[in-house]
Amino acid sequence: MIGHGFMGAAHSQGWRVAPRFFDLPLRPEMAVVVGRNAQAAAEAAEKWGWSESATDWREVIGRDDIDIVDIVTPGDTHAEIAITALEAGKHVLCEKPLANTVAEARAMTDAAAAASARGARAMVGFTYRRVPAVTLMRELIAAGKVGRVQQVRAAYRQDWLVDPAVPLAWRLQKEHAGSGALGDIGAHIIDMTQFVTGLAVDSVSGVLDTIVRQRPLLGSGSGLSGTAAEGFGEVTVDDAAVFTGRLSNGALASFEATRFATGRKNALTVEVSGDRGALAFDLEDLNTLRFYDRTAPDELQGFTRILVTEPQHPYVSAWWPAGHMLGYEHGFSHQVVDFVTAIHDGTQPEPSFADGLRVQRVLEAVERSSDAVSVWTPVGG
C-alpha cells in the first residue's frame, strides 16, 4: 500500500478483515506500506498490521514478492504510480477520483487496458458501491422496481471547512487535489448515480464556489494537524459544487457537493424516482433503504424502510445475524473481496479505470461549465 493516513487506515482495515470473514480464493498478505517519512510509515505498519515499511515506492513495486499495489496517495501522484505498477505487471487498486485530470485518467485507463492483456487487473476505489444497501438499490432498479428512471437527486454534504481557522491542507490545493468538494466527494455521487441507475451522465450545467479563499498555513505537516500557523495561503479549489445533469435516458439529475453544509458531517444521499416507484439511500443511515411502490393500493402507499441486514442481502451473509448493523469500514472489506476474486477469476473488477475515466470527464465538464457562467439572470422586481 502506497500512502497512509485516513484512507490508508480504511484500506488496511479492509485487507486485514476480509480474509477472516469471507472465503477468498486467494489470501492477501499485507507485505509493506510505503510513505515519505520513514518513522511515520513504520508506525503505520505497526498500527495497521503491515509486515514492513519503506519510503521508495518504485523499489517496492519492483519487488518480485509484491503482486498488488494499493494507491491511497493524493491525486497528483495516482497516474505515475499506477502506470508504473501496471507496466511492472502488478494488479492495481487506486483510490478515487482516479486522477486530477482527464488526460491523466485516460493514460491510466490505457495502461490498464494494456496490462489487462497480460493478466494484470486494475480497479478504482468507489467504495460506497459496496455498501449493501447501495448494491441492493442497484439490483432493485435493474429488476424494474422503480420502472423508468425519471429523476435523480444526489448530494454529498459535509461541514469540516466551515471554520475559517481550519488550516490549508493538501485537499485545498489544486496542484495536489485536482479539485475540491467536486472531485473529493462529488465524484462519489456521480459514480453512485451511474452505478445504481445503470445510466451515464451525458451532459452537465453547474457552478463552483470557493467560500473561504485564504486559510492559515502550518509550520509542519500536510494534513489537518501541525505546528503553529505561519501566515495564510490561497485556497485554489472549490468549497462547494452545485450542478445538474442529463442522464443517457433523458432523465434530469441534480447534484450537490459541499464542505460548507453546517451541521452535516458525512451526509451522502441519493434518491431515484421512476414511473413505478422510488428508492432513497442515506449514508448516515447506511443499513437501510427506503422504497416507495407506486403500484401498491392507495391505502398502502408510502415509503417502506428496508433493513438491509438479512443474509440474502449483498455481502451480509459473511457478517452478523440479521439486525446487527454494519458500518462505514465494511465497504472496504467488500472491496477487497471483489478485487481479489476478480484477480483469481481473471475477470475485470468493477469499477474499472474506464469507469473512473467516465467520472473524471463529468468532473471536468462541470468545471468547464462553471468557468463559462459569466452572466447571472437577475430577478425582476
DSSP β-bridge partners for residue 149: 274
- Which pLDDT score is estimated for 380? 82
Q: Which domains does the chain have, with CATH numbers?
A: 6-128 (3.40.50.720), 132-285+287-326 (3.30.360.10)
Listed residue (30, 18, 96) closest to 315, CA to CA: 18
Tens-place pLDDT, residues 191-238:
999 999 999 999 999 999 999 999 999 764 444 444 445 699 999 999
Residue 312 has pLDDT above 60, yes or no: yes
For residues 108 and 351, the answer to whether their CB atoms sit within 8 Å is no
The DSSP string of 135-183 is HHHHHHHHTTTT-SEEEEEEEEE--TT-STTS---GGG-HHHHSSSHII
Burial per residue of 87-119, b for 16 or more beta-carbon CB atoms within 10 angstroms, e otherwise: ebebbbbbbbbbbbbbebbbbbbebbeebbeee
- Which pLDDT score is estimated for 76? 94
Percent of the chain with pLDDT over 90: 93
Average pLDDT taken over every residue of the chain: 95
pTM of the predicted protein model: 0.94
For residues 262 and 246, the answer to whether their CB atoms sit within 8 Å is no
CA distances in angstroms from 286 to 202, 251, 264, 283, 306, listed in the order given: 28, 26, 15, 5, 11
Tens-place pLDDT, residues 114-172:
999 999 999 999 999 999 999 999 999 999 999 999 999 999 999 999 999 999 999 99
- Which pLDDT score is estimated for 220? 42
Cα separation of 55 and 33, whole Å? 9
The DSSP string of 292-339 is EETTS-GGG-SPEEEE--STTSTTGGGSPSTT----TTHHHHHHHHHH
For cell 473512473, name the residue: 356
How do strand 304-307 and strand 201-209 relate by DSSP bridges?
unpaired
**240-260 mean pLDDT:** 98
Cα separation of 156 and 372, whole Å? 24
For cell 511492472, name the residue: 88
Residue 82 has pLDDT above 70, yes or no: yes
How do strand 252-258 and strand 149-157 relate by DSSP bridges?
parallel
Model confidence at 79, pLDDT cuts 50, 70, 90, reads very high
For residues 97 and 363, the answer to whether their CB atoms sit within 8 Å is yes
